[in-house]
Chain A
Amino acid sequence: MAERLIELRDIKKSYGNVFAVGGVNMAIDQGEVVGLLGDNGAGKSTLIKILAGAVKPSSGEILVRGKPVHGWSAAKSRAAGIETVFQDRALAVQQTIVRNIFMGREITTAMGLLNVGKQRAEAERLMRDIGFTSKVFSPDSIVGQLSGGERQGVAIARAIYNQADLIVLDEPTTALSLTETEKVFRFVRNVRESGRSILFIGHNIHHVFDIAERFVVLDRGRVAVEITKPEVKTVDRLIAFMEHVAHPAGANPLDDSPATTGANL
């Protein structure tokens, strides 16, 4: 079995007496793509903000490679190799691809001067690695000229340069067309092949189903189900389950699946 990268144990986050996240257990192994699903208000964004260290959990434990980390923070999250690509505000769009990839971690020569040639070559290598090849754009192109999917590619390339082990993609395909979504999927597949893990957040079930191998469905701050793709079999069954979570009536469509946890609503 692959190494356990990150484990969340009984993570709770309350605002006053409202629980945004009410006791979440989940784990991400090395080299797997996990899809995090859930309706608006299910606690997806709170959970990824907790992972990024931007929000402190009220209680619970976070383990990195099996070891509990105390005083979880943005710096500890980064040190643990987690990089979150937030939907709209990840990139500096008036800057070049190179400048975005090396933002905050520039390759320099003496006296802090930028090593332009090395940065360019490294950017080209990173873009090739994730499958971001273009006839039109060079590493010196302005990010604002790129399409939405390509921008996600730049953010992913940057995460890889920063040696992230877990890349959290927050709704990476929400605003994208079909072809653009395909591009993001290709980047994600290439990242997985390099042994890194991806947490893919989305509310388009089809997108998440296509790319992830395991799904965690959140509902009102709790894990409604955690299930692998072979177990859920088809996207229709996953959709049916999501509908069941939203409006519980009749039998749980996933009841015949052996790994169903906590789905008895």
Chain B
Amino acid sequence: MTDIADKHDQYPQRGALHRLVLDNRAALGTFVVFVLMMALFFWGNPQVFSDWRIYNSVLTTLPVALFLVVPLVFIVTVGEIDLSFPAVMGSAAWIFALGVAAGYDPFLCIAVAIVVGMVLGIGIGAIVVYAGLSSLVATLGMNYLLRGAILIFTNGKSIAVVSLKGTVAYDVLSGSLWGFPVQMLWATAFIILSMILYNRHKFGARVHCVGDNPDSAEQMGIDTKRIRVYTFVFMGFGAALAGIFSTMINFTWWPTSGDSYLLPTLAAVFLGGTPTWGGIGTILGGAIGAVIVSFIQVGIVSAGLDGFYVQFFNGLIIILALLGHRWNQTRYR
């Protein structure tokens, strides 16, 4: 039992390293999973995994997943869920591709696409929050609705944006720097800024409080509805970035763009150590989760196993990681 003593009013001063480990235990746990997985792959095929090319190929497409995972951690922390980000990603990327194909300046197209993503975020957030709908079901509906609209308007036709090649926008955003994909730098900057927003900013503090105890937050004068909507706007921002980068990397926009990211992104958030019940979460863990998910596919195939094993290993890693987090984290009520 704890004792509030009158004489000794000093609690133990813990070292900075100790606190860092405690504060990031979920992310560290995810990192351990990652290291173990990579060790396994390396043991399975040392030749492939000691070659830089395999990492390069993962790092080329990884940023797309990172732009989705990070904002989703905010949404889960605030106590909601979003299943509509694939369609928002597809919509924003569609506007971007249309603009580029029509010959507009790519930077302008990027700006417009980001605005589109954020406006969709406002709409989805407002529907969920102010109409008091279940975010699970409402965003599922929005995903179908938006994707359906894209398919209707485009007749299912893709848009090629080969004209991006050689433009300043392409070189700066997703070119190559000494053989290293530049988009990875942007994604890293995005993660760092988001971590500051999440852990060290007023907004992040409120996201945590609203997700933890909305009654209390409301009583303390926090506009809990507005905070919830903001997380959806941030998701729209991230989804737009993901869509833009995905289109640039592939030089093509497909009407299904974003669809394949739904389940891997959700998996990355939860195996990263953000629990489903809201109030807490980890951006860094989610990012490592995205790295894990990206490497599973490449790793399985390179390790000489059949592609059929990918889904099986996805599931195995998710379940093992969840068990690990269950043991690693206490749930306070």
Of A21-29, A97-105, A211-219, the one contacting chain B is: A97-105
Which B residues are in CB contact (< 8 Å) with A162? 220
- With contacts A132-B4, A136-B2, A147-B2 taken as known, whether A103 is within 8 angstroms of B220 at the C-beta atoms is yes
B222 within 8 A of A: yes
Q: Is the CB of A104 within 8 A of B11?
A: no
Q: Which applies to chain A's interface (DSSP): helix, strand, loop or mixed?
A: loop
The 8 Å CB contact of A94, one of B10, B222, B279, is: B279
Chain B interface size, under 10 / 10 to 19 / 20 to 34 / 35 or more: 35 or more
Of A31-39, A110-118, A249-257, the one contacting chain B is: A110-118
A182 to chain B, nearest CB (A): 9
Task: Compute how far the CA of A141 lies from the CA of B208 in the bound complex, rounded to whole angstroms.
Answer: 15
Which A residues are in CB contact (< 8 Å) with B3? 135-136
Digitize A126-157: 1 where CB-to-B-CB distance is under 8 Å, 0 elsewhere: 00100011111110111111110010000000
Q: Is the CB of A114 within 8 A of B4?
A: no
Count residues of A near B (Cβ-Cβ below 8 Å). 43
Residue of B nearest to A74 (CB): B219
Which B residues are in CB contact (< 8 Å) with A108? 202
Which B residues are in CB contact (< 8 Å) with A128? 9
Q: Is the CB of B217 within 8 A of A89?
A: no
B105 within 8 A of A: no
A65 within 8 A of B: no
- With contacts A89-B216, A113-B201, A114-B200 taken as known, whether A95 is within 8 angstroms of B4 at the C-beta atoms is no
Which A residues are in CB contact (< 8 Å) with B203? 112
Which A residues are in CB contact (< 8 Å) with B208? 92, 94-95, 99
New A-B contacts (14) at CB < 8 Å, excluding given A103-B217, A105-B220, A133-B9: A92-B279, A94-B212, A95-B209, A100-B209, A102-B205, A103-B220, A106-B202, A112-B202, A113-B201, A132-B4, A135-B3, A135-B8, A140-B19, A158-B220
Listed from nearest, the 3 A-B pairs whose CB atoms lie closest are: A144-B332, A133-B9, A104-B220
A-B contact pairs, 11 of them (CB 8 A): A90-B216, A91-B216, A92-B208, A92-B209, A92-B216, A95-B279, A104-B206, A104-B217, A114-B200, A135-B5, A137-B2
